[in-house]
Chain A
Amino acid sequence: MTAHPRIWHLVLILSIFSTPLVIMYVYQVIDSIASPDPGSLIPGEIDLSNWRFLWERIDMGRPSIWMVTFNTFIFASTTAFLVTLLSTTAGYALSRLDMPGRPYFLGGLIILHAFPTITLIIAIFIILQFLGLFDTLLGIILVKAALELPFGVWIMKGFYDTVPWEIEMAGVQDGASRFRVWWELVLPQVKPGLAALLIISFLSGWSEFVLPLVLAPGSSTQVLSTYMNAVIQDDASADFGLFKAIGMFYSIPVIVIYLVFQKQLMNIYGGGTKG
Chain B
Amino acid sequence: MELRLENFTKRFGDVTVIENMDLTVNSGEMMALLGPSGCGKSTTLFAICGIHKMNGGALYFGDRDVTTVSAQGRSVGVVFQNYALYPHMTAEQNIGFPLKVQRMPKAEIRREVERLADLVQIGNLLDRRPAELSGGQQQRVALARAMIRKPDVLLLDEPLANLDAKLRLEMRSEIRRIQRETGITAILVTHDQVEAMSMCDRIALMRDGKIVQLDTPEQMYRNPQSQFVAGFLGNPPISFLPARADASLTLANGQTIERPPGLEAMGDVVLGIRPEHFGPQHGTGLKGKVVFVEPQGREELVDVRLDGGGDIRSILPAGDPIRPGETVDWGIAPGTILAFGPNGDRL
Contacts and interface: CB of A to CB of B under 8 A. Distances in A.
Contact of A175 (B84, B88, B101): B101
Contacts of B51: 169, 172-173
A166 interface: yes
A122 B199 CA distance: 70
Contact of B88 (A169, A176, A188): A188
B101 A180 contact: yes
B235 interface: no
A175 B72 contact: yes
A195 to B, nearest CB: 15
Interface string B80-113: 1111111110000000011001100000000000
A170 B84 contact: yes
Interface size range on A against B: 10 to 19
A90 to B, nearest CB: 23
Contacts of B287: none
B59 interface: no
Interface residues of B, number: 24
B154 to A, nearest CB: 11
Interface in A151-198: 164, 166-167, 169-177, 180, 185, 188-189
B49 interface: yes
B78 A177 contact: no
Given A164-B82, A166-B80, A166-B84, A173 B101 contact: no
B122 interface: no
- Most interface-central of A166, A175, A177, A185 (chain B CB within 10 A): A175
A175 B49 CA distance: 11
A164 B49 CA distance: 17
B84 A167 contact: yes
Contacts of B88: 188-189
Contacts of B337: none
Nearest to B78: A173
Nearest to B72: A175
A164 B50 CA distance: 18
A173 B151 CA distance: 10
Interface string B144-183: 0110010000000000000000000000000000000000
B322 interface: no
B82 A173 contact: no
Given A170-B78, A173-B77, A164 B101 contact: no
A72 B101 CA distance: 43
Nearest to A169: B51
Interface string B41-77: 0000000011100000000000000000001100011
Nearest to B98: A174
Contacts of B145: 170, 174
Interface string B97-134: 11001100000000000000000000000000000000
Interface of A: 164, 166-167, 169-177, 180, 185, 188-189
Interface of B: 49-51, 71-72, 76-78, 80-88, 97-98, 101-102, 145-146, 149
8 contacts: A169-B78, A169-B84, A171-B86, A172-B50, A173-B71, A175-B72, A176-B101, A185-B86
